Amino acid sequence: MRALRPGKVDRAVHIPHPQDRKGRRRVVAFMTALVLTLCGVAAAVAIYSGRFQIAGIQAEVALRQLLLDAGFTVRSITVAGRVQTESAELLKALNIKKQDSILHIDLVAVHDRLAGLPWVKEVRVTRNLPDAVHIELFERQPIAIWQRNGKMVLVDGDGVEITAKDVPEYHDLPLIVGKGAPKAARELITLLGAEPQLGNRVAAAVRVGERRWNIRFKDGIDVRLPEQDALSAWRKLARYEENNGLLGRDVELVDLRLANRVVVRLTQGAVRRVKGPEREAGLHSFTLIKGNT
């Protein structure tokens, strides 16, 4: 699995001496005022001459060159918070090159391109005059793998699909199946974490009718959770397992959808050993009494 690190900066940022910064601010302020003045003069000349379109193009070219000569060019691009986002994808979305005119960068367009990357949840783009652009990424955190139509995709806590590309790196995440499963994934993770001795035994969870969960354990046992208050039912199952060892090798299904009663279906081998009218279905039920819940 790719090592996860706290947000990192891809390129070092040079911090000048305070006195240098003070002098540089004066230069930046002066050059900015000069540029604005020249822009106004160029526009006035263009309008007066009646050749606004041609003069506008010429003024644009002249302005860009003036900015470049004045030092308003991109010399530093720093990125913080990048963990899973690929460098090649990031650079392509940025579409900024060193020596570009920094004042001509469309920050909104850059933001929108970066926000469209698979792992990016939020992004901030800052233009630091005269020559630096800083990007701060906030990436999505996968919490489950969603199996849909035979394909696997990572999803985050908001139910958003992230990517299918990096699924192998997160093979330890819970597998969820069914329509509406991503939107309910956060609820499921909370439920499994509430009783880790059971949660660690879970292989997959199936969303049924976009209303409730069926849990499949690694040893093949299925647990049907209720639509309402599934967490309480899950806790009751954990207590009963601790006290009575319910989830033994002779059980293949546990139905918790009734408030105070558990229905258990035995394996075929266990059914053959059972005598009486319950043998046909292999079903047994019992009440969760106080002290075992």
pLDDT, tens digit, for every residue of 230-244? 999 999 999 989 988
> Helix, strand or coil for residue 10?
coil
Contact indicator for 116, 87 with CB cutoff of 8 Å:
no
* 293 within domain boundaries: no
**pLDDT computed for residue 4 by the predictor:** 38
Structural domain count of the chain? 2
Strands 202-208 and 175-177: parallel
The per-residue pLDDT of the chain, averaged, comes to 79
Looking at 139, 160, 185, which one is the last position of a domain?
Answer: 139
**pLDDT computed for residue 183 by the predictor:** 97
* 129 within domain boundaries: yes
Contact indicator for 87, 10 with CB cutoff of 8 Å:
yes
Cα–Cα distance for residue pair 119/243, rounded to 1 Å: 44
CA-wise closest residue to 205 among 163, 246, 234, 238: 234
Strands, sheet with 132-139, edge to edge from the N-terminal-most edge strand: 76-80, 132-139, 120-128
Cα–Cα distance for residue pair 17/20, rounded to 1 Å: 5
Q: List, for residues 47-63, the tens digit of each pLDDT value.
A: 444 444 544 555 556 66
240 or 197: whose pLDDT is higher? 197
Which of these ranges, 19-23, 269-273, 286-290, has the smallest mean pLDDT? Answer: 286-290
Strands 76-80 and 202-208: unpaired
Domain that includes residue 56, residue range: 19-139
How confident is the model over 134-143, as a mean pLDDT?
A: 97
- pTM confidence score: 0.71
Together in a domain, 179 and 243: yes
Q: List, for residues 94-117, the tens digit of each pLDDT value.
A: 999 888 888 889 999 999 999 999
Strands 202-208 and 151-156: unpaired
**pLDDT computed for residue 247 by the predictor:** 86
* 241 within domain boundaries: yes
In this structure, what CATH number is given to the domain that contains residue 26?
3.10.20.310
Please report which confidence band the pLDDT of residue 277 belongs to, taking 50, 70 and 90 as the band edges.
Answer: low
Strands, sheet with 175-177, edge to edge from the N-terminal-most edge strand: 151-156, 142-148, 175-177, 202-208, 212-217, 222-224, 251-258, 261-266, 283-287
Cα–Cα distance for residue pair 122/266, rounded to 1 Å: 50
pLDDT at residue 125 greater than cutoff 60: yes
Can you tell me which residue has the tokens 């800052």? 126
Please report which confidence band the pLDDT of residue 119 belongs to, taking 50, 70 and 90 as the band edges.
Answer: very high
Together in a domain, 166 and 126: no
How confident is the model over 178-197, as a mean pLDDT?
A: 97
Together in a domain, 128 and 154: no
Looking at 113, 139, 165, which one is the last position of a domain?
Answer: 139
pLDDT at residue 290 greater than cutoff 50: no
Contact indicator for 79, 135 with CB cutoff of 8 Å:
yes
* 8 within domain boundaries: no
Together in a domain, 123 and 181: no
Looking at 91, 118, 139, which one is the last position of a domain?
Answer: 139
How crowded is the C-beta side of 47, counted as CA atoms within 13 Å?
Answer: 6
CB burial of residue 84 (10 Å; 0-12, 13-18, 19+): buried
pLDDT at residue 6 greater than cutoff 50: no
In this structure, what CATH number is given to the domain that contains residue 210?
3.40.50.11690
* DSSP label at residue 73: B
* 59 within domain boundaries: yes
**pLDDT computed for residue 289 by the predictor:** 37
* 44 within domain boundaries: yes
Together in a domain, 167 and 94: no
Together in a domain, 132 and 105: yes
Cα–Cα distance for residue pair 56/40, rounded to 1 Å: 11
pLDDT at residue 93 greater than cutoff 90: yes
* DSSP label at residue 251: E
Together in a domain, 131 and 209: no
> Helix, strand or coil for residue 5?
coil
Beta bridge partners of 284: 264
249 or 20: whose pLDDT is higher? 249
